[in-house]
Each structure stands twice: as C-alpha cells, then as structure tokens.
Amino acid sequence: MPLEKTVNHQNLLLSPQGAEVVLGNIESQELVTPIAPSPTTMFGPRGACLLSETGQLWVTDTGHHRLLGWRNLPHQDSQPADWVIGQPDFYHEGQNAKGKPGRTTVSVPTGICACGAGLAVADAWNHRVLIWHNLPTDNNVPADLVLGQANFTDNEPNRGTQQASAQTMHWPYGIFYHQGRLFVTDTGNRRVLIWQQLPTENGQPADLVLGQPDMISRNENGGGSPTAASMRWCHDIAFWGDNLVVADAGNNRVMIWQGMPTENNAPCAVVLGQKSFDCVEMNQGIYFPNAGSLSMPYGVGVAGDWLVVADTANSRLLGWRKPESVLSLQGVMAEALVGQINFQSKGENRNFGLPTRESLNWCYGVKICGQTAVIADSGNNRILLWRLN
C-alpha cells in the first residue's frame, strides 16, 4: 500500500476556498444544540437536493420536522427559506406539527429527491414516503401520494405488524429516483425497495427488494453473517454511471452493483470501505481511518466520474474516480478528501474546532447538481453549497 501524504486533498474535488454559501449556522459561531426554528435556522438537517443549477433547493430540516424550500439557488449566507412544509409557519416545530399525521406533516424527514416533475421525501418516523407530482411553490402544499402506508393518517411501522411486506416500511431514510425507477432505503427493515415505475396509487407495493431474500424478512444482514447481498443500516442511494450504489452505514461500507439489479436479493459486485464482503468493522477495526476505510457512511452522491461518499462518523467526504470496470474497485483507496487535513484524521470540524467553511461535523448527505455540491452538515446544523473544483 502506498504511503499517504499529510496534505489537504480537497482541491482535487471541491473548491479550496470552502463552501460558497452556508445556510443555517454560519462559521465562527459556537456549536449549537437544539436551536429555535426560523426561516434561517436548522437543527440537524440530514438531506437536501438542488433541482437545477439555479434552483429550487429543498432541505429536510430533520430536527425541526419540516422541509425548507428556496425558490432559487441561494447566493448569500443564512439566506432565509421561501417556503416551509410540515409546520404552520417558520417558527414552529414538533413531529407532525405536534398533531396527527397528514398530507402536509412530517416526522424526522431525511432523504429528499426530485421525482419525475415533482418531489419525494423519506418521512422516516412516519414510516412512509411522500410524493408531490409537481414541485411545491408555496407553504404546506399537500402531498399527492403516500407509500408505506395505506393512507395519509396512519404511521405505524410495517403497518402495525411484526413482518415486513412489499407495501410497508420501517424507518425509510433514503430515497432516489433514476430513469423512471424509485428506490427507497427501508432502513429499519434492512433492505432497499425498488419500484420499476413511478407509483400511481397510495400504498402501492414495491416490485423488487435488495438486502433480504423476500419481501417479508427484515433481519439485519439477512439473519446471518454479512455477505455481498445483505445490509445492516442502508441509508442512501445513487447511480454512478449505470451502477447502483447504496451506503450501508451499519456495515461501514458502500455497496456497488454492476449495472441495475434485476432479481430479489441480488449481491453487489464490490464494496468500498471494507477489504471483503464479510468484514464490517468501523475503519476496518483501527481507531484512525485511512483512505480506504469508512465509519458509518450515510450519504452518497455523484459528480461526473466521481463517487462522493459522506463518511459521516469520520466527518469527511471521500471521492473515488470511476474506473473502466467497477470490479477493479475492491480495496481501492479514495483519491479525494474534503473536511480533514489528511486521510488519518477524523475529529469533528478538523480536530474538534469551531465550524469553518472548510470543515464538517457528522455530514449526513451529499448530492451534486451541475457544479454545486449540496452537503447536509448535520452536526453543524447547516447546509453547505460548495462549488466543484
């Protein structure tokens, strides 16, 4: 293994000037714990998506149990949101707006993505996915479709049963839409659900499952030792070219399939972060990370040829450049680093300092649109808009 240099590698991937825009907690403030909701504040945001290079931008303000929307790509720090969904106004918080679930409420919203002409959100603690057929352009626009539940008012995990099914969910944290297919990381059921076409009915069953041998099983790692097919805490999804990518945070790895899986429980072709399919320890069993290890990677995104992984517990982003064949990736070290001064560092905000435009603290999500990386820097209660280099 080549020796790793102690240098800042972030200029390989993102601008060395740091984030261009900081939404939420701006730099040099002290770290904050629960923070009052407003149009400019967030509490532990875990997901975000930029719909085009000029906007809209949508953020899951997870700790405040709401979605925040910007009509256009923000260009100023702490720019206030234009819209809120999930609360009566910008100054209230609480699961399901401290009431019952409905078409405009959320509880621990996490994943968010463009979905056809509209928007989709993984409403994790309501054990459902909400879909808007068109992009919301006002406060509290009601969702058009719900998956995981039979209606908009129910919110029990797996609809109150001990087993999973093709129609139910338990803590769905991630969502992704790609070439007509909808993907959901049904995290509490330790599986990924796939709809081959965008669903048209409430509670519509999924067509395909990964991570479990069938639609009713829900044991972590399929009830046995880790394999190329099993999952422990799947959290996010991306496509890297034609290859499906799933962040399996509980196994401290990223799973990559060669192409699009076509059968239930199809094994992945390669994993990043571990030396083999049966290894699952944080940072490969060593306290400090290296360029090839991961600790609870929650997020994945794609920037051209680069796969970007939010290596959450190491408070950094890692970048791998796409090879001719993904099969050659097993055991390969990351080439790009963001958020730490070298590949062996893992402290929040670069050795437990205050947040800066270049630092990260438990980054949960990363998505790239055009030349902008949108990073959910959850531990710093903020979203970073960071230009690609």
Please state, for a pLDDT cut of 90, what percent of the chain lies above it: 93
**Whether pLDDT at 227 is above 70:** yes
pLDDT at residue 2 greater than cutoff 70 = no
Q: Please answer whether residues 381 and 32 qualify as being in contact, where contact means their C-beta atoms are separated by less than 8 angstroms.
A: yes
pLDDT at 31 over 80: no
Residue 177: pLDDT band by 50, 70, 90 thresholds? Answer: very high
| Average pLDDT rounded to a whole number, residues 266-280 | 98
* Mean pLDDT calculated for residue range 232-236: 98
CA–CA separation, 230 and 248 (whole Å): 9
One of 2.60.40.3080, 2.120.10.30, 3.40.50.410, 1.10.340.30 is the CATH number of 10-387, namely 2.120.10.30
> What number is the average pLDDT over the span 32-61?
93
- Residues 256-266, mean pLDDT to the nearest whole number: 97
Of 50, 130, 69, the closest CA to residue 96 belongs to 130
Q: Quick check: 317 and 234 in contact, CB under 8 A? A: no
Average pLDDT over residues 286-295: 97
What pLDDT does residue 12 have? 76
Q: Compare 389 and 147 and report the one with higher pLDDT.
A: 147
User: What is the reported pLDDT for 120?
Assistant: 98
Instruction: Give the strand pairing for 145-147 and 191-195.
Output: unpaired
Would you state the pLDDT for residue 352? 86
Q: What is the mean pLDDT of residues 331-349?
A: 96
Cα angle at 278 between 311 and 342, to 5 degrees? 30
Q: Report the distance separating Cα 3 and Cα 8, nearest Å.
A: 15
Task: For residue 137, report the phi and psi dihedrals to the nearest 5 degrees.
Answer: -135, 30
Break the chain into its structural domains and give their ranges: 10-387
For residues 147-163, give the mean pLDDT: 97
Q: Give per-residue burial for 332-366: e unless 16+ CB within 10 Å, then b.
A: eebebbbbbbebbbbebbbeeeebebbbbbbbbbb
Q: Considering the chain, what is the average pLDDT of its residues?
A: 95
pLDDT surpassing 90 at residue 29: no
pTM above 0.85, yes or no: yes
Using pLDDT thresholds of 50, 70 and 90, give the confidence band for residue 7.
very low
**Rounded Cα gap, residues 146 and 1, in angstroms:** 49
Geometric angle at alpha carbon 231, from 199 and 227, rounded to 5°:
130
Residue range 195-207: mean pLDDT, rounded? 98
